[in-house]
C-alpha cells in the first residue's frame, strides 16, 4: 500500500513539474520569437508595500476596447452624464457579461500599436495587423498581458518615466510584457 502511495505522490509531482515547465517554455518562446508592439500607457501608478515595488499598468487602448464592447457606456442623458456614471449598468461587465477576445492593432512607423477593431479569434488578420488577447473584468477594466510591472525594490524612479509597454505577441494572440519604455520609446 505504501509503495503505491509513494508512486502516486512522485508521479503527481513529476506531472506538475512537466506541466509547469511546458508553460514556462511557451512563455520563453513568446518572449524570444513574438512580434514586438508598443502600447501606450494610460496614467495610473499605485504601489503595494505588501507585494514589493510594482506599477499597475493601464493601456490607452483599453478605452477603445470598452467603447467597442459597450457603445452604450458612452451615451449620456443629455446633461453630460454617461450611462456608467449614472449607474446605468447593474452587471459587472455590461448586458452581455464579461467578454474575452482579441484587440487588433496596427503598429505605426514607431512601433506603437493603434486600435483597429476587436474580434473573437486571433485570425483573420490583414497585413501588418497584430491580434492581442484581452480579458474584460468589469464595466471599466480590461486586462491585456497582465496589469502590473514588478521591479526591484528601490528602483521606482527608474520606471516613473514609463509611457509605453513593450509587448511580445505570439501568433495565438498571447502577449507578454517584455519591458517599459519612455516617451521617446527608449527602453528603461
Check whether 132 has a pLDDT greater than 90.
yes
At residue 9, the pLDDT reads 84
pLDDT digits (tens, 9 = 90+) for 66-101: 889 888 766 555 545 454 444 444 556 656 667 889
112-128, pLDDT tens digit by residue? 999 999 999 999 999 99
Q: What is the mean pLDDT of residues 129-144?
A: 88
**Checking DSSP bridges between strand 175-181 and strand 58-59, what pairing results, if any?**
unpaired
**Across 130-154, average pLDDT:** 84
What's the whole-number average pLDDT of the chain? 81
Predicted pLDDT of residue 52: 61
User: In the predicted model, what is the mean pLDDT of residues 33-54?
Assistant: 70
Question: Which pLDDT does position 126 carry in this prediction?
Answer: 94
What's the rounded Cα separation, in Å, for the pair 73 and 94? 9
- Distance from first CA to last CA of the chain, Å, rounded? 57
pLDDT value, residue 12: 85
pTM of the model: 0.74
Residue closest to 96 by CA, chosen among 132, 64, 61, 120: 120
Question: Are 144 and 61 within 8 A, CB to CB?
Answer: yes
Q: What pLDDT is attached to residue 184? A: 94
- Predicted confidence (pLDDT) per residue in 146-177, tens digit: 788 888 778 878 888 889 999 999 999 999 99
pLDDT (0 to 100) of residue 26: 72
pLDDT at residue 85 in the model: 47
Burial class (CB in 10 A: 0-12, 13-18, 19+), 159: middle
Amino acid at each position: 500500500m505504501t509503495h503505491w502511495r509513494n508512486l502516486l505522490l512522485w508521479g503527481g509531482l513529476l506531472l506538475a513539474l512537466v506541466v509547469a515547465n511546458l508553460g514556462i517554455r511557451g512563455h520563453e518562446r513568446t518572449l524570444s520569437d513574438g512580434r514586438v508592439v508598443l502600447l501606450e500607457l494610460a496614467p495610473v501608478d499605485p504601489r503595494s508595500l505588501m507585494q514589493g515595488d510594482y506599477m499597475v499598468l493601464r493601456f490607452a487602448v483599453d478605452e477603445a476596447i470598452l467603447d467597442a464592447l459597450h457603445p452604450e457606456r458612452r451615451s449620456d442623458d443629455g446633461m453630460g452624464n454617461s450611462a456608467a456614471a449614472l449607474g446605468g449598468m447593474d452587471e459587472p461587465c455590461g448586458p452581455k457579461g464579461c467578454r474575452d477576445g482579441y484587440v487588433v492593432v496596427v503598429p505605426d512607423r514607431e512601433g506603437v500599436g493603434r486600435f483597429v477593431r476587436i474580434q473573437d479569434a486571433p485570425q483573420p488578420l490583414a497585413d501588418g495587423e497584430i491580434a492581442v488577447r484581452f480579458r474584460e473584468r468589469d464595466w471599466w477594466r480590461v486586462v491585456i498581458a497582465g496589469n502590473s510591472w514588478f521591479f526591484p525594490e528601490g528602483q521606482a524612479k527608474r520606471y516613473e518615466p514609463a509611457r509605453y509597454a513593450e509587448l511580445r505577441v505570439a501568433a495565438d494572440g498571447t502577449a507578454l510584457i517584455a519591458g517599459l519604455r519612455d516617451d521617446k520609446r527608449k527602453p528603461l
